[in-house]
Structure 1
Amino acid sequence: MVRGKTQMKRIENATSRQVTFSKRRNGLLKKAFELSVLCDAEVSLIIFSPKGKLYEFASANMQETIQRYLRHTKDRISNKPPSEENMQHLKHEAANMMRKIEQLETAKRKLLGEGIGSSSIEELQQIEQQLEKSVKTIRARKTQVFKEQIEQLRQKEKALAAENERLSKKWEVEEGQAGLDKQPQITARAEESSPNSDVETELFIGLPCSSRK
């Protein structure tokens, strides 16, 4: 029994319609991004929600892409329409591209551990090898980052040591200057506290004069 194609129609339930719009919109934006990265294509996508909200993606400048599209459309209208052979070639290329994108998505899910229930031993071994290679790359990058951070800390340590040495020398100079400033004051105090060389003293031996007769 051959089943006919399901006819697409508008979703009547507003909530279901909004949920479907969000999912399909995100999927379409993701496809546009992957197409631009995988094939180095210039892709621009514009979406307006039922409420008029704008969603867009551009692998290059959106305005320049629009101007390029307008020029291309103008030239295409002025020239002859493409032949049936070219149209078939474009459809074939688009179908191949969609298959490649689906294969990449499947491979990505398997790398994340999803959808591997039907994978063969060979496929699981390939996935394991890819993961081990990725882990090695990540560890190498982590080691490099650690080395860079250690080098930065060493540079900071040298800078702090140099700054500490500079401050120590500055402190020694200031202390020496302070000692020189105090020296005249110490000398003056010593002179004030010393006996006067001009004062004459006599030494008397015996009883005081008042007791002599």
Structure 2
Amino acid sequence: MGRGRVELKRIENKINRQVTFSKRRNGLLKKAYELSVLCDAEVALIIFSSRGKLYEFGSASMTKTLERYQRCCFNPQDNSAERETQSWYQEVSKLKAKYESLQRTQRHLLGEDLGPLSVKELQNLEKQLEGALAQARQRKTQILMEQMEELRRKERELGDMNKQLKIKVSLEMSSLETEGEGLRAIPCPWNPGSSSGTNSFPVHVQPSNPMEIEPEPVLQIGYHHYNLGEGTSSVPRRMAVESNIFQGWTL
């Protein structure tokens, strides 16, 4: 019977793992030797065990083989860096040339350095300027139309606000007039000319002659009241009252 296929995984048994390492290491070293002899190849083999022990094989000197390996591995990296630097230099050169071309075109559009240009180039420049001028005018017209539309919109808004304010003021004025009419309709008791014709407050009319004021009642103590005769009707009443008071006290 043939040997079965071994599953590739770590051998858990320590003794079996060590035995397998020794067998396969010797087989690998043998294969490397056979490859170097049969094919005339430069072979270098380095093996470290799990304990850190070194096993190596070199068909030639191990040092020379490692130096050759380093030259083959690191030189392409240097070459790639050099190629990248060269590509960046070329890119910078292209960008610089493009920048100079744009500056030259700008000077031509400004009317500078036109001497070296040919007739065809001048015609192309003229077409470019005409196209740019037409676009600038179109853009200016568009901006002006937008500004006019904005001003019209603001005018409509202000007109609406003005109408609303007028309506509000008219309503307030009508309410004030209604309140004023209500106040005028209320009778005032202190107004002699009121339409009701009644007055709760007595109105004293000042006579034209101050001597015609009737005397107020006087408290008389200790004297008799004397009536004036008809013959003394010409004397003012106030003087009669004063003389009556004086005669009463003298008596």
Instruction: Name the TM-score, length of structure 2 as normaliser.
Output: 0.43
Higher relative helix content: 1
The structure number with the bigger radius of gyration is 2
